[in-house]
Amino acid sequence: MSALLELEDVCVRFGGLTAVADATMSFAEGEVHALIGPNGAGKSTVINCISGFQRRSSGEIRLGGETLPHLDAAAVARRGITRSFQTPQLFSRLSVIDNVRVAHQRQRRARLRVDDLLELVGLTEVAHHQAENLAYGQQRLLEVARALASSPRLLLLDEPAAGLASEDTERLSRLLKLIVTQFGVAVMIVEHNVPLVRRVADRISVMHHGLVIATGAPDDVLNDPAVIAAYLGGGNPSTEH
Amino acid sequence: MGAWALVVVVLWFLPSRVLTDYQLYTFNLALVNILLAIGLNLVIGVARQFALFSGALFGIGAYVAGICQVRYGMSFLAALPLAIVAAMLVSAATSLIAWRAGDLYLAMITFGFGEIFQFFLVHADGLTNGPDGLAVPRPNIAGVSFAAPGELHLLFLPLTVLAIAIYRLIETGKLGRLLTALGDSEPALASTGYDHRVVKTIAFAIQGAYAGLAGAFFAAAVGFIDPYSFGLSVTLQQLTAIAIGGLGSLAGALVGSITLTLIDRVLIDFPGVRELAYGVCLLIVFLAVPRGLAGILSRQKSLP
């Protein structure tokens, strides 16, 4: 599996605060790469930085081997990198289906039809409801559907399972597996739900205080003493349900 | 569709036969206000860009149409597209401010633009005839004069209906979806690959076109324009109209601007009372029907 997107020594500083320090990581097509770590570790900043919502202070981002210049969010999206947001950012006055259409109507060769996208995330029945009337979990799933509607090469998901009911989390994990295996999309997921991460991730990176403290296969990373100390706490994560 | 066509035909031919000149004049002003309100509705109600310079754009339309006819001897029909394009270009250029400034800042800057524009109208005597105003000739198309309110009505109504139909196409099409999306979440719109700045400029340009058309109509309907007709009060009146009608809705903009035109006409001899009436209307609507007058219709529709 070749790396689609690579970060090399990426730093993001806000004044005197270093939110992300020398982050180096890569995202491969057909792979789910989970980024975990305590709150404030810099995970969302990494997503913002890749998706063009935050300028990096230094370091390099390469897409398909070529250096990605500082681009605004829309230009990044047009290069096939789409995202969801930590707090759902829906087009609240539009219907569910129109939310997906906004992203879909730009595509000349869309991977999936709008109806199929809604089917995938289980929102077919509420397709014509106004987005702001959706339950919280459904709003998150709609964000995923909208991000997928742009036929992305890299999908960045910022805590997609937060607030999801267990059956929706189940659906999300099946969906993630499907999009990486069927469409070869590279997925980066920031998530606190460790069982979900364990189930879907091919690779895990752990951040703490802006630093990437571990990267590797899920079993290795989740049993790493440094990771347990920084994030997972005393309990053995492998015994979690 | 057929029913709407019938309504339009009736509105086209009937009023000039049954209404008095004064009533027809009011009718024409209502058409002008409708055009202004739907343009403002697109920018504020749909795209949620708080641009407060409708009055200036309206003035650009009126003055460009007037000056083209008075100073350059152009016909009404030749001046009309120029008025539309001029207001459209100025509005699109002003949207560059909205690329960076939002909400209150945008409101303040566009408000300032409106004030400067009015200052310009007063002081550019050579072009605008300053505070004395400009007498604008009545339209004359292929030898047929449209001087009386009833004649102007025959000219204005089809063009206004066309403008409303175009608005409806925009609103229900891909562009309308983008404009709503812009108003709801700029970050989300950007994440779908659309440049929110371009979408803003398009919204402003469309508003400019509607205000330009309204301005040209106004100059023809009244036959006289002066700088004081195009100030902040116009913008506030239109803002009140779309708020009363229901922000973001076409039906709301229509109902609201017709309501305000009527209030305006009834209270024309009581300066100050008019603004008070706007305020009372806003209060009643916000307390009784928060979604606006048009919300009454849709609420009844959704009852089982």
Q: Where are the domains of chain A?
A: 3-234
pLDDT at B292: 82
| Alpha helical stretches, state H, chain B | 2-13, 15-18, 21-40, 54-70, 76-100, 103-123, 125-128, 149-172, 174-184, 186-191, 196-222, 232-245, 250-266, 273-288, 293-302
ipTM (interface pTM): 0.90
pLDDT at A232: 77
pLDDT at B302 over 70: no
| Count of CB pairs separated by less than 8 Å, A with B | 74
Task: Decide if B64 contacts B89 (C-beta within 8 A).
Answer: no
Q: For B209-235, what is the mean pLDDT?
A: 94
Residue A35's nearest CA partner among A185, A188, A200, A147 is A188
pLDDT at A15 over 90: no
Residue B298 sits at the chain A interface (C-beta within 8 Å): no
Distance to chain A for B183, nearest Cα, Å: 8
Tokens 């919502």 locate to: A53
pLDDT in tens, B192-209: 999 999 999 999 999 999
pLDDT at A241 over 90: no
* All structural domains of chain B with their residue ranges: 23-302
pLDDT at A240 over 60: no
Angle ∠(A235,A239,A240) on CA atoms, nearest 5 = 85
CATH topology of domain A3-234: Rossmann fold (3.40.50)
**Taking CA atoms, what residue in B is nearest to A155?**
B191
Residue B193 sits at the chain A interface (C-beta within 8 Å): yes
What does DSSP say about strands A58-63 and A32-36: parallel, antiparallel, or unpaired?
unpaired
pLDDT at B97: 85
Candidate from A53, A93, A149 with C-beta closest to B180: A93
pLDDT at B267: 87
With a pLDDT cut of 90, the percent of chain B lying above it is 65
pLDDT band at B303 (very low <50, low <70, confident <90, very high): very low
Query: B23-302: which CATH architecture?
Result: Orthogonal Bundle (1.10)
pLDDT in tens, A90-101: 999 999 999 999
Question: Which residues, 6+ apart, have CB-to-CB distance to A66 below 8 Å?
Answer: none
Q: For B131-151, what is the mean pLDDT?
A: 89
Q: CA dist B236 to B34, B103, B204, B231, Å? A: 14, 16, 17, 9
Tokens 């000039």 locate to: B16
Residue B191 sits at the chain A interface (C-beta within 8 Å): yes
pLDDT at A2: 67
Q: Which two tokens stand for residue A136?
A: 């919280």
pLDDT at B76 over 60: yes
pLDDT in tens, A177-211: 999 998 889 999 999 999 999 999 999 999 999 99
Residue B302 sits at the chain A interface (C-beta within 8 Å): no
Show residues of chain B in contact with A78, CB under 8 Å. 193
With a pLDDT cut of 70, the percent of chain B lying above it is 97
pLDDT band at B298 (very low <50, low <70, confident <90, very high): low
pLDDT in tens, B95-107: 988 888 877 888 8
pLDDT at B121: 93
Amino acid identity, position A63 = L
Cα–Cα distance measured from residue B228 to residue B132, given in angstroms and rounded to the nearest whole number:
10
Please indicate whether, in this complex, the C-beta atoms of B188 and A89 are within 8 angstroms of each other. Answer: yes
pLDDT band at B261 (very low <50, low <70, confident <90, very high): very high
Residue A2's nearest CA partner among A81, A65, A49, A50 is A65
Nearest 10 degrees: CA dihedral of A87, A90, A93, A96?
Answer: -130
Please indicate whether, in this complex, the C-beta atoms of B193 and A78 are within 8 angstroms of each other. Answer: yes
pTM (2 d.p.): 0.90
Cα–Cα distance measured from residue A7 to residue A59, given in angstroms and rounded to the nearest whole number:
8
Mean pLDDT (chain B) is 90
**Taking CA atoms, what residue in A is nearest to B248?**
A93
Please indicate whether, in this complex, the C-beta atoms of A85 and B187 are within 8 angstroms of each other. Answer: yes
Relative orientation angle of helices B196-222 and B54-70, to the nearest 10 degrees: 50
pLDDT at B275: 82
Q: For A14-42, what is the mean pLDDT?
A: 91
Report CA A59 to chain centroid distance, whole Å.
Answer: 21
Please indicate whether, in this complex, the C-beta atoms of B188 and A73 are within 8 angstroms of each other. Answer: no
For the ranges A150-154, A190-194, B11-15, the lowest mean pLDDT is seen at: B11-15
